[in-house]
Structures are given as structure tokens and as C-alpha cells.
Amino acid sequence: MSDIRETLRSQPLRIGISTRSLFNLEEEHAVFVNEGVEAYATLQLNREDTLIEKGSGFEVVERLLRLNEPGQKPYVEVYLLSRNSPDLSLRAFHSIDNYGLSIKAGSFTSGRPLGPFISAWELDLFLSNEIVDVKAAIEAGAAAAKLGIAPQSRQEDPGDEVRIAFDGDAVVFNAESDEVYKTHGLQAFLQHERENAKTPMSGGPFGKFLRKLSILRQIFMNDQGVSRVRIAIVTARNAPAHARVVHTLRDWGTPADEAHFVGVRPKGPILKALGAHIFFDDQEKHVLGASQVVASGHVPGPHDPDEPIIPADL
């Protein structure tokens, strides 16, 4: 166990998050859109000492940072990346300090794109409200997702777990099976998955992130086999296509604590039941449905948002 602890401390899980993903800045952003940059800057300066409310990415970041052990090199590092000016960084770090988050570093680019800084900060995951920056992060090799606003119905969770949920195809896994369905139809897809049930899928845009997160999960595993870092797969696959998911995770050495093969049912109620702190999916309809109950990130993919992807076997 000490070996994997030191391995992760030498290359910690590095997360970048934009100010609008960490905090609720929707009112200020509306001023920027409707009245321009000068009005926005004036508003932020006038509110420099005003605490910013928590945003959609706040809870998962806070819970991940709590995993770090005092006096030790961190397992998780978080950096603030913002298109705001350096002047406006004061309010952000004032709020960070008030909430007790151990975020000390970041980039403020005065409107310039954040994409070039993804590799510079060696990020494993980037969360933003700007789709351009999200796509740039993916091109730079990081997992990335576009977050919306925080759900209004979220219940307070006093526990110390961090529960992260993922869709499967085109998120954790590659889009190969998607393509079989799109090209040849449902029955060909099901036959393909039966024949390849024990053939591991290749990693998708969140494949590397899942592997690193799994190391963190293992570090916090107790004697009863329960970890403070809980991983869930929530996918539209159902039997028989579910088997390949299980065999792939087993081959990767990244077992999930939960797997929900929902078929044609919506994912939101399942995510609410498991108490996920964040969910990642490549289909906008699933993200929109889930975002009512959990912070949800859209992972840009090759699909038309209106096309069904990996439909259930009815």
C-alpha cells in the first residue's frame, strides 16, 4: 500500500476547474454577456470582498481535496483556471480561503483561451462552462467536460465519501461499439458485443482518468472492502451487452463499486439514489436529465445529440 501511496503522491491527480464551474457566477456572467466586459469587471471589483456561492463543481472538488493527509504530499491537486483578469483573482481566492479549500495556484488569462495551459499544468481532468476550452483540453490529452449550473434539489451530504459516476461508451470506453450500432443496427451491435464480451474495450476520453482515480480508490479502501472513493458506471447498456463492461473493467484493474445497466430508463433517478457527486456522459439528453439531481458534465463526442447511442435491447 505504501508503494501506491508514494506513486500517487509523486504524480497526483491534477484537476483544473474554471471559476464558473467552481462558483455560482451566473449573475455576473449575464452582465458580461448583456453589458460587456467593462460592466462585468466593475461588478466583480465592487464585489471583491463578497463571498461567491458554491457552483456545480464545488462539492466534488471539496471532497477530493479532503482526501489529502495533513503534512504529507497531496494525492489530489486542484488549480483554478480562469479567463478573468488577474485583478479579479482576488475575489476568487478570497472565497476559496473562506471555504477552506486548499487551492493555491492557477492561471488568469484576461479573456484568452485556457486550452494552452492544460498541458502546462499537467491536468488529468478539466471542468469548465466554456465548450471551446473543454474541447481544447481533450485535444491536449486531458479528460474534460462542460458543466452546467448546480442542481437546485441537491441534498446536504454529511458523509466523507466522494462518489463519481460515468457513462460507459465514448466516455470511459472508446466509441467502437457505438460505430457498430450506427453502421449496422441494433442486432449487429448485440451480436458484436456477445462475440467480444471478454475482449477488453479501448479507453475513451475518461479512460486514463478512471485508471488514476482507481489508484486513489485503492488507497482509501478499508478492511471491509469499502472505499471513501466510490466509482459507478451508469450506462444504457443492458444484458447481454453489459458483460463486456464488466470484463473490460476487470482487465483494466479498475473495478467499479456500482454498475447500473439502465436500458431505456432515465439515468437521473439512479444517480439520485446512489448519491453521486458528479456524473459524466457524452449525450446531452442524459446530462440534462441528470443535472436536476447531480452536477453533470457533458463530454463532447462525435454524436448527433438527437441520435440514440447504444440503445437497450428491448
Q: Which residues are catalytic?
A: 167
Tell me if the bond preceding 269 is cis, omega within 30° of 0. Answer: no
Distance, CA of 298 to CA of 286 (rounded, Å): 9
Cα–Cα distance measured from residue 37 to residue 116, given in angstroms and rounded to the nearest whole number: 22
Q: Which three cell numbers stand for residue 40?
A: 462585468
| Core vs surface per residue 1-27: b (16+ CB within 10 A) or e | eeeebeebeeebbbbbbbbbbbbbbee
231: β partners:
164
Max CA distance (Å), the chain: 63
Nearest Cα to 307, choosing from 290, 286, 289?
A: 286
**Contact present, 137 and 127 (Cβ < 8 Å):** no
